[in-house]
Copies of this chain bind each other. A is one copy, B any other.
Amino acid sequence: MTGEDLKSRYSAYLDCLNRQDWQELESFVGEAVVYNGRSIGLAGYREMLKEDYRAIPDLHFKAELVTVDPCHVASRLAFDCTPVGLLFGLPVNGRRVQFHENVFYRFDSALIAQVWSIIDQAAIASQLAQPD
């Protein structure tokens, strides 16, 4: 795939997440996907995303910056949402928070094969430390 193809494909993947189209996910994510060093597979990946939506009913994936090379996508995702309870062990409890995720994906045969994600949990903790 060209860089532009990969960028389009990544954009379609985010649309799939935002639609919560869990059937379609298999068009984007490989059966043996590895997430942050753990071989969770497609089923584990789907379950992780469903759990994300349970924790954050208004979750929406928005890419602020996307760079691609022939087999990788690097993306800076921005979130603006109201998690219902604990998030990453932090008592968000329905408060609105903004945070980012910087994430790399390795694609193999047009499917996501490996993910390296870091979420800015410190930004959430810092917002919770401020008065409402």
Contact = CB atoms under 8 A, between A and B. Distances in A.
Interface of A: 3, 65, 67-69, 72, 74, 76, 88, 100-104, 116-122
Among all A-B residue pairs, the 8 with the closest Cβ atoms: A74-B74, A102-B102, A67-B69, A102-B118, A67-B72, A118-B118, A118-B120, A67-B74
Contact of A102 (B68, B116, B121): B116
A118 B116 contact: no
A117 to B, nearest CB: 8
Copies of this chain present in the complex amount to 2
Contact of A116 (B65, B68, B116, B119): B65
Nearest to A102: B102
Contacts of A76: 104, 116
